[in-house]
Chains A and B, each alone.
Chain A
Amino acid sequence: MTSDREQVRSLDDPEIMVQTPATIYDAIPPLTPRTEREAEFYQLEDGEMFLNLGPQHPSTHGVLRVVMKIDGERIVDVDPVLGYLHRGVEKICEYGDWHHAISNTDPLEYAASMFSEALPVLAAEQLLDLEVPRRADYIRVLAWELNRISSHALFIGWLALDLGGLTPILYGFAERDEIVEMLAALTGQKLLFNYMRIGGVNGDLNHEFLSRLGDWMSRAGEHINGQAKLMNENEIFVNRTKGLGVLDRETALGLGMSGPPLRATGVPYDVRRAHPYSVYPELEFDIPTRSDGDSYARYLLHIEEIKQSLRIIDQVLHKMPDGPVMAKLPRLLRIPPNRAFAAIESPRGQYGVYAVSDGSDQPFRFRIHDPSFFNLQAVGSLSEGQVLADIMAIMASLDPIMGGIDK
């Protein structure tokens, strides 16, 4: 205890510091740093402060929390905090059937469910060495490409929304709603389709789906051209995204990225061509690649991929063979002990699954590799030195979907 003389101070003293006890309302929990990187991050230089882009924010594409260390308006460092949507999908898959894994993996990539559903299907088919009927394969490609277009349309909308443009999101959702109504006619669901099955697909094409598809195809080209015309040469959009968040080839490969962010840096890696699956070897399409590596290049890649998808859908419709849509499989599916890795090209990148079976009807280990998880690591290095407003554009251009990131 200090002496009496030091205790008596005037309350008008300007050096009074009122200490507020740490409460749950603190944005940054006052933990002692657990790791080297945390200690480095939570060290404030003169003039810096922490700003919490909390889990609830219009631009975080779901529940992503980004703790930013800023110096004025410039970002010095970034620490993304994940896990606000971690639902334990991998564990739940271990407690269900191989067939249940299809609907369990649906909500992972909720903007493009056909791709996440395809994971347990492709893995099980590889484990069983199963031959899928050709018609089923073609229908799968059709569903995948339609879902890719709707997901890209949403990406374009969200990118513009994060930059402040309120119109392209309406275009994007109009496009997506039309495609998704079409898929609802095919699968019965608008969002979590539950359409892929081990050995094929759930049901054949029906009249309503085909008539909606034909209607839409006749207008799709104009729609995408309209969308491109709205944004490609738009001065505000180009100024904000050109030169923003430039990734180079070595960094992108080192971060384990895939999909449009990687192709924008010049690496022509597309799982459909690098490691072909389904009937993609028989279809003609290009892999759009750019070498700038900035947000504008990623945006242009998405537009070009939509055009390539339209091309694929056209070929698929012309080449569609007849036949069954599902292979004969027992309902109680026991897979002998084995392991398999299957990967597909989803709109966000390489979606992979490492499946281990143990002879029973439950997966032993069902590891889902989500591309947005690895793509999001780039946010740290890309946003250093950028202005606060630009971190939204960077995050949006990497196309994260928190369902997959958090599993």
Chain B
Amino acid sequence: MRRTTDRRSLQHLDERLGDHLVVPAEAMGDTIELVIAPASVPAVMRALREDGDLRYELLADICGVDTGLTMQVVYHLWSPLSPDWVRVIADGLSRDDPRVPSITFLWPGAEWGEREAYDMFGIEFEGNRDLRRIYMPPDYLAFPLRKDFALADDASRGPGEGIRHMETPLPPGEVRANPVIRTSAGAGAVLGPDGELLALGAGSIALPEAPDAAEERA
């Protein structure tokens, strides 16, 4: 597999964005990964895009990730000056009320990507002028890709159960009976609510194999 050889970009990124980064910029495979707090998303993305040495103009991807402990928003960027991708993980969004500033002021095309992240996870992008559901019908109640949304099994749907149980609204005060939520340490550094680092992802090649947050399978 391609290893990133672009030490120059790594250095630049560390210099320009040093105070926003939670962990130092690291090279994973052919990607340079940055982990930031959600509040610094506008500043970091603007710096990445407009800095003359970095010029990460192409937004390759924007998505949400539900790690079971927190929510993340992950951006991938590409620059004509560097052969590597840059991955920006905005970690530490709470699973109950995930909010992150929108980057539609830099890339208008992120609007639909953010709509999709809202539709699938419930992540509110502050500043997106059009944050409504894009895939599911507008009156849909759940957020499908969250880890507490379970796909119905053939076993759980007995004969006569034509309804989709995840989509019926619960009476107030009730909690859905799905206590085991899948988490993964592979998703990256885990930040606490104040931005402090709780655990590092086991996937970083800069660290030895550290046992971190429990991995439970749904």
Which residues of A are in contact with B by a Cβ distance under 8 Å? 29, 31, 34-38, 82-83, 86, 88, 90-92, 95, 125-126, 129-130, 253-258, 269, 274-277, 336-341, 343, 350, 352, 354, 356-360, 362, 364-365, 367, 369, 373-374, 376-377, 406-407
Contacts and interface: CB of A to CB of B under 8 A. Distances in A.
Contact of A129 (B1, B58, B59, B134): B1
Given A338-B203, A352-B61, A367-B65, A126 B129 contact: no
Shortest Cβ-Cβ A-B pairs, 6 listed: A337-B186, A358-B184, A256-B109, A255-B109, A338-B203, A37-B130
Contact of B185 (A130, A274, A358): A358
6 contacts: A256-B107, A336-B202, A338-B202, A364-B186, A377-B109, A377-B112
Interface in B1-47: 1-2, 28-31
Contacts of A343: 60, 85
A362 B110 contact: no
Interface of B: 1-2, 28-31, 57-63, 65-66, 74, 76, 78, 80, 83-85, 87, 106-113, 116, 120, 129-138, 144-145, 149, 151, 182-188, 201-203, 215, 217
Given A338-B203, A369-B63, A356 B184 contact: yes
Given A340-B29, A341-B61, A377-B111, A82 B134 contact: yes
Contact of A254 (B107, B133, B137, B201): B107
Nearest to A249: B57
A406 B65 contact: no
A341 B62 CA distance: 12
Nearest to A253: B57
Contact of B187 (A34, A126, A339, A362): A339
B201 A337 contact: yes
Contacts of B144: 88, 91
Given A126-B1, A341-B87, A364-B182, A83 B134 contact: yes
B60 A369 contact: yes
A339 B26 CA distance: 13
Contacts of B109: 254-257, 374, 377
Given A339-B188, A352-B76, A364-B184, 12 more contacts: A35-B131, A253-B57, A254-B109, A256-B107, A256-B113, A257-B109, A274-B83, A339-B87, A350-B60, A356-B187, A367-B63, A374-B112
A148 to B, nearest CB: 20
Contact of A275 (B30, B57, B116, B185): B30
Contacts of B217: 358, 360, 362
Contacts of B80: 269, 274
Given A339-B186, A339-B188, A407-B135, A256 B63 contact: no
